[in-house]
Amino acid sequence: MTSTKPPFYITTAIHYPNGEPHIGHAYEVIASDVMARFKRLDGYETYFLTGTDEHGQKMQQTAQNLGISTRELADRNAAVFKAMDDEVAGISYDRFIRTTDEDHYAASTAIWRRMVEAGDIYLDKYAGWYSVRDERFYSEDETQLDAAGDRLATETQTPVTWTEEESYFFRLSKYQQPLLDFFQANPDFGAPRSRFNEVIRFVEGGLEDLAISRTTFDWGVPVPKDLTAEDTSLDHVMYVWVDALTNYLTGVGFPDTESESFTRFWPADVHVIGKDISRFHCIFWPAFLMSAQLELPKRVMIHGFLNNAGEKMSKSVGNVVAPADWVTEYGLDAVRFFLLREFPFGADGSYTHEAVLVRKNSDLANNLGNLAQRSLSMIVKNCEEMIPQPGERTAADRRILAQADELLEISREAYDAQDFHRALERTWFVLGEANAYFAEQEPWKLKKTDLSRMNTVLYVTAEVLRKVALLTQPVMPESASRLLDALNVEASGDAGRTNASGEGPRSFAAFDAELVPGTRLVKPTPIFPRHE
Ligand code: ME8
């Protein structure tokens, strides 16, 4: 299909492969995947980038502790993160980027060159605190001493070490006012507003120039000697965040700014990231891009953290959940649904086994699964295995159909704000209404008294289910597809990937076209089994 809608480019944070992925990592890629699938189904040409952030001191130290080479650690764990996407979480990325990919070196070198040309890079000496775990510099007043007398970063409670080394600096201070002007002109650049406000307040407090190279280890993108602003005898590698952020450009073909993919997809429509890295994305990144004379991304969506029963996940507490364990226990679609339905994307949220069960059994098995099973089985049994011909519509029919009709626009609006929670809440509200409608109309009684009315009720219910199934494809690709299969809705070749069940997805272009009476149905198999 030649799309008339603008291209859509979405990215996740790239993850440090210094350990194994946990459910918080899965949360971010799943939400981004849902967003990408929604846009594809809605006819946007979509590019979805995710991957691993492999440079820096943290990677080098972890490898040393394990007694393996940093390259080996990166290869091994990047494969684990990729397997989470491919084999566990059903992620439909277009590229899985690794910052050790060759084209990424070219892109990082090119953005550095542009920042040098802008006069924004100079050589100096860094002296301050560094947290390897956060890969982040801290000023003294951002640190504190713990009971044992060890110094920690106050915000993240990670150990910091005194670091003194020659470093290149980026003139971040120069961009304070341009950033504030940009924020003012683009109030939706950072979301949710409360988190964006924190960023704005930080910039208003003044910005110091930023150390952007390291000389005390070598696992990074080399700072090109011929491009440095001043001469030095030391070998510098780029500070890991400089090359990490640049992945968003590499992914669409930078430094070839004339390339088809770059002209089509840059600037990114949305960077999806967690709350701990909002400053990097809302301050450093736009400042680098302003310096490099490149367009700024349209939006940074800052999601909250996923906690285990209200507690931060941590290895020492032993409450870290592996995505694969959850998927084995609850099934992928139920996990995806839970993560987006349970709490708003911008907020912190918690999970417990009980909370997942309630969502799975009440929202999926009861409200959706049961309604589908009962209504479609009735159609197969009583309507010669065909979508029945509806009669005249009553006020109750029109009401529930109108509520289902509105779901596409409501979802579009919610998705554009990455408010997955609201889209699902509204969809399940309509499903609740559909269940009430089905119970009130009692089609099983109409079977004996008014066949034509029974046909209408079954038709209306099936039509509501079709619309709900279409719109839940991004969240639950496999189950929604099976429901659409049960309704014998044709796959559209224009809506992106083939999904797990082998059927192609159904584009939203078919949203308004109602079910055709006479369409053959087969006896449905239960789509959302209860979790016992
Ligand atoms: O920060 N709940 O990588 P990372 C939700 N490499 N999200 C969580 C989470 C949790 N419990 N824990 C982590 C980095 N995240 C950098 C990013 S981007 C150019 C470089 C999120 O592996 C976190 O907020 O530490 C971040 O968005 C992502 O997982 C990767 O974290």
pLDDT at 498: 46
pLDDT at 229: 52
Chain-centre distance of CA 56, in angstroms?
24
Q: How far is the CA of 15 from the centre of ligand 1 (A)?
A: 6
- The DSSP line for 82-96 is HHIIIIII----SEE
Residues 82-120 pLDDT 10s: 999 999 999 999 999 999 999 999 999 999 999 999 999
pLDDT at 501: 45
ipTM of the predicted structure? 0.99
CA distance 460 to 429: 17
Q: Which residues line ligand 1 (CB under 6 A)?
A: 13-16, 24-25, 27-28, 53, 244-245, 247, 273-274, 276-277, 305-306, 313
Q: How confident is the model at residue 266 (pLDDT cuts 50, 70, 90)?
A: very high
CA distance 378 to 444: 8
CA 28 vs CA 22, 253, 346, 487: distances in Å: 11, 24, 11, 32
pLDDT of 497 higher than 60: no
State the chain's mean pLDDT as an integer.
Answer: 94
How many residues are there in the chain?
532
Residues 49-86 pLDDT 10s: 999 999 999 999 999 999 999 999 999 999 999 999 99
pLDDT at 502: 47
CA distance 296 to 271: 11
CA-276 nearest atom, ligand 1: 24
pLDDT at 73: 98
What mean pLDDT comes out for the span 38-58? 97
CA distance 432 to 110: 54
Of the residues 54, 73, 276, which should be mutated to test ligand 1's pocket, given the most ligand atoms within 8 Å of the CB? 276
CA distance 88 to 85: 6
Q: How far is the CA of 324 from the centre of ligand 1 (A)?
A: 18
Q: How many CA atoms lie within 13 A of 404 on its CB side?
A: 29
Q: How far is the CA of 229 from the centre of ligand 1 (A)?
A: 32
pLDDT of 2 higher than 80: no
Percent of the chain with pLDDT over 70: 96
pLDDT at 3: 56
Of the residues 10, 25, 135, 340, which should be mutated to test ligand 1's pocket, given the most ligand atoms within 8 Å of the CB? 25
Of the residues 18, 53, 249, which should be mutated to test ligand 1's pocket, given the most ligand atoms within 8 Å of the CB? 53
Of the residues 15, 77, 315, which should be mutated to test ligand 1's pocket, given the most ligand atoms within 8 Å of the CB? 15
What mean pLDDT comes out for the span 427-438? 98
CA distance 55 to 210: 18
pLDDT at 499: 41
Q: How far is the CA of 274 from the centre of ligand 1 (A)?
A: 6
Taking CA atoms only, the protein residue closest to ligand 1 atom 13 is: 24
What mean pLDDT comes out for the span 431-438? 98
pLDDT of 332 higher than 50: yes
pLDDT of 245 higher than 60: yes
Taking CA atoms only, the protein residue closest to ligand 1 atom 14 is: 15
CA 346 vs CA 14, 197, 304: distances in Å: 19, 13, 5
CA-17 nearest atom, ligand 1: 22
What mean pLDDT comes out for the span 292-305? 98
CA distance 345 to 334: 17
What mean pLDDT comes out for the span 348-375? 96
pLDDT at 522: 84
Give the residues across from 170 on adjacent strands: 121, 210
| Ramachandran assignment for 333, one of left (phi > 0), alpha (psi -120 to 50 degrees), beta (any other) | alpha
Residues 140-193 pLDDT 10s: 999 999 999 999 999 999 999 999 999 999 999 999 999 999 999 999 999 999
Taking CA atoms only, the protein residue closest to ligand 1 atom 8 is: 24
